[in-house]
Copies of this chain bind each other. A is one copy, B any other.
Amino acid sequence: MLILSKYLKARQKLVDAELRRQLPTARTRPATIHEAMRYSVFAGGKRLRPILGLAAAEACGAEEAKKSDTGFANALALGAAVEILHTYTLIHDDLPCMDDDDFRRGNPTCHKVYGEGIAVLAGDALLTLAFEIVADIRPPKRYPLADFVRELADTGGSRKLIGGQVLDLEGEGQGAEITPAQLRYIHESKTAALLTTAIRFGGMAANATPKQLEALTVFGHSLGLAFQVIDDILDVTQTSEKLGKSAGKDEAAGKATYPALFGLEKSRAEAARLTARAREALQVFGTRAERLREIADYLLDRDY
C-alpha cells in the first residue's frame, strides 16, 4: 500500500484529470466564461471530497483496476460533480456582496480576475454543470439516477448549503447572539452536508448495501463536524504562522464558533467525541476502510 502522502497525490492527479475531461475547454465559446470556470476549479484544491468518495467506493468493493466495474468510474464522475459544486459555492461566497475575499489559497479570487458579473455567471455555470455530470453516470442497481440528482439538489439547496451561508451572512458581527442550535446548523449545512454527500455518492456508485451506506453517512457527518470544531479551536489557540492563515480571524469578524459559545475545554471534548464516532462507524468495513481511516486521521489528528 502506498504511503498516504503519495496516495493522496496520485488520487489528486486522477481527480484533476477527470475535472479537465468534464469541464468545457477554455476555448469553448464564449471563451471568457469557460476560462473563468477553469480558473477557479484549478486554483489549487486538494480534492479531499472526491478522494474521500473514491475511498468510500473502494470500501464498498469498487476497484480502480477492473475495467468492467463501472462503480469506480461512476465514483470518479460523481466526485468531479461534487468538487465542481463546491467550487461554485467558493466563487459566490468570495463575492464583494458576500464574504468579500480578494484571495483564496494565495490566488486572486474569480471576481478579482474576471469581474463580478462573470464570477456570478461562472458560479451559476459550475452549479449547472454538476447536474449535467450526474445525469451522465450509469446508475448502479440499488440507486436510480433520481437518488443522486435529488441528494445533490437537497445538499446544495436552500435548506442546507445555501441555508448555512444565509445564516453565516446574517450572523456576522453578532457572534454571541447565535444559539448553539444555530451554530450546529451552520456547521452541519456548510461543511458536513457536502462532505457526507461526497462520501455517500462513492458508496452509492459502488452499489453499497443499506448497512454500508448508513455507516458511510455517520462517518461523513461526524468527520465533517469534527473537522469544523477542530478548525474553530485552532483559530483561537494557534499562531497565524502555524495555521497558514490569519489566526483569530473568526473572532475579529464576530463569527460564532464552538470555543466562543462553549469554551475551549468543552469544544475539545466535542471534537474528541465526534472523531471517535467517525472511526467507530467504519468498523463494519473491516480492513477495506483502511484508507478512509487514514484520511480521517490525517484530517483530525491535529494538535488541538
Contact = CB atoms under 8 A, between A and B. Distances in A.
7 contacts: A97-B115, A97-B116, A121-B158, A121-B165, A121-B166, A127-B128, A135-B146
Interface stretch (A25-33, A223-231, A264-272): A25-33
Contact of A128 (B116, B121, B162, B170): B162
Nearest to A125: B158
Number of copies: 2
Instruction: Sort chain A's interface into a size bin.
Output: 35 or more
B170 A154 contact: no
Given A129-B158, A166-B33, A120 B92 contact: yes
A125 B169 contact: no
A89 to B, nearest CB: 8
Contact of A32 (B34, B98, B121, B166): B166
A53 interface: no
Contact of A166 (B30, B158, B162): B30
A162 B132 contact: no
A198 interface: no
B145 A157 contact: no
Interface in A79-136: 88, 92, 95, 97-98, 115-118, 120-121, 123-125, 127-129, 131-132, 134-136
